């Protein structure tokens, strides 16, 4: 029986079952592709259009491209709490090992070290978290009052935070806290603008 005869199942396959016909690659080789391009127009793109020089996110009308102090407040408070907890844990472990070095590795020593670690971790997390909360509140309030966001807000918020945090120590405590806050916030403002300061000084030399 001839397998190449029309109607045989050798060439038709599934196409012949549904009334269709199957053609080989040789038969289709000379058929012109009318109205079709060998390269899809979606792939024929100038690579220069793929380079994005601007931000790829949409902002509401009048919105700033950078996050404000209110948005950064949550990150600041959470980061300070985590940092304080980590530092307190390490400090508590150091203090616990130092205070119990005369004891053997027994259960009472382990419990005492664990208590010291948890106490120090919670204390430092509470302290740094409170400082970050005060700084964020002062920063947001000063920004809303002045209607501007610059390094003056940073320095003022840091100074007021130090003064309020040490207000329980009297006038001397307020003064020391204000000076500490002023120094830390001033150092941060200087660090954040260091590239701008260096760029201005180098351009003035020429």
* 115-141 confidence digits (pLDDT tens): 999 999 999 999 999 999 999 999 999
CB 65 within 8 A of CB 55: yes
Residues 79 and 140 in one domain: yes
Task: Note down the domain range covering 98.
Answer: 68-147
Residues 143 and 154 in one domain: no
Residues 117 and 179 in one domain: no
What's the pTM value of the predicted model, to 2 decimals? Answer: 0.62
Residues 95 and 165 in one domain: no
Extract the tokens encoding 141: 């309030």
Residue 70 — very low, low, confident or very high, per pLDDT cuts 50/70/90?
Answer: confident
Residues 95 and 109 in one domain: yes
Extract the tokens encoding 183: 């120094």
Residue 52 — very low, low, confident or very high, per pLDDT cuts 50/70/90?
Answer: low
Residues 92 and 115 in one domain: yes
Q: Mean pLDDT for the chain?
A: 77
Residues 165 and 138 in one domain: no
Task: Give dist(CA 150, CA 78) in Å, integer.
Answer: 23
Residues 131 and 109 in one domain: yes
Residues 143 and 183 in one domain: no
Extract the tokens encoding 121: 């971790």
- Is 47 a member of any domain? no
The torsion region of residue 13 among left (phi > 0), alpha (psi -120 to 50) and beta comes to: left
148-151 contacts at long range (C-beta below 8 A, 24 or more positions apart) = 149/68, 149/69, 151/189, 151/192, 151/193
- Count of structural domains, the chain: 2
């Amino acid at each position: 029986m001839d397998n190449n005869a029309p109607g045989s199942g050798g060439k038709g396959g599934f196409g012949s079952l549904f009334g269709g016909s199957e053609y080989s690659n040789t038969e289709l080789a000379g058929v012109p592709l009318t109205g079709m391009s060998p390269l899809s127009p979606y792939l024929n793109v100038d690579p220069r259009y793929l380079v994005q020089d601007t931000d790829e996110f949409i902002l509401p009308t009048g919105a700033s491209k950078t996050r404000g102090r209110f948005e950064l407040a949550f990150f600041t408070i959470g980061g300070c709490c985590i940092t304080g907890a980590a530092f307190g844990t390490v400090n508590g472990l150091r203090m616990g090992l130092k205070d119990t070095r005369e004891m053997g590795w027994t259960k009472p020593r382990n419990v005492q070290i664990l208590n010291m670690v948890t106490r120090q971790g919670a204390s430092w997390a509470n302290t740094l978290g409170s400082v970050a909360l005060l700084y964020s509140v002062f920063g947001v309030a000063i920004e809303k009052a002045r209607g501007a966001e610059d390094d003056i807000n940073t320095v003022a918020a840091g100074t007021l935070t130090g003064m309020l945090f040490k207000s329980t120590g009297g006038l001397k405590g307020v003064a020391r806290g204000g000076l500490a806050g002023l120094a830390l916030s001033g150092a941060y403002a200087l660090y954040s603008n260091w590239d701008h300061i260096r760029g201005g000084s180098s351009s003035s030399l020429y």
